[in-house]
Amino acid sequence: MTKESELIKKAKDGTYYYRASLGFDAMTGKRIQKRRSGFKAKTAAKEDYRKLVAKADEEAYHPTSTFKEFTKTYFLPFYKNNVNEQTFRHRCGVIRRALAYFDNMQIAKITPFDVQNWQFEFLEDHSNGYTRMAHTLPYWGQSLAVPSHSA
């Protein structure tokens, strides 16, 4: 992770600028970057950088969002754009079957204890390997946005 002080650069004209990476667009999967320049002092650039990042975090994260809402809006579009199409289709089945347990839970209220309870319940009907694969999916998934395999 890059230090904040390394993100602030000095331009040839003596002013300061920065480029902030604000995550990925949910629809395109492309990286979101903002560039700001013309700061007379490095401290002013740092302060503006902090405000921009805090605002982006606030807009992206809604603690009352359910797991289902989060995965439908953010995870699945991101995941689809970052893995092979065949991998996405295969993992959709895992997502639909394995992680419906979390669908109606608020993200901010999911605890390690909840994940452990899910693992114990899931292990009753599935192998260790399948459970481990479902558990290690980045950010997991939700059932409604997952296409059915019967098509």
Residue 59: predicted pLDDT: 65
Domain containing residue 45: 7-60
- Quick one: 52 and 81 in the same domain? no
Is pTM, for the whole model, over 0.85?
Answer: no
The sheet that has 16-24: what strands, in order across it? 8-10, 16-24, 31-39
Tokens of 102: 């979390």
- Quick one: 127 and 73 in the same domain? yes
Sorting pLDDT into bands at 50, 70 and 90, what band is 9? very high
Mark which of 42, 60, 78 sits at the end of a domain.
60
Angle, alpha carbons 45-47-53 (nearest 5°): 100
C-alpha span between 26 and 72 (Å, rounded): 9
Cα→Cα distances 42→5, 21, 79, 96, 110, Å? 9, 18, 37, 48, 39
Residue 63: predicted pLDDT: 63
Domain membership flag for residue 143: no
Q: What is the 3-state secondary structure (H, E, C) of 32-50?
A: EEEEEEEECCHHHHHHHHH
Residue 145: predicted pLDDT: 36
Residue 139: predicted pLDDT: 42
Is the pLDDT assigned to residue 36 strictly greater than 90?
yes
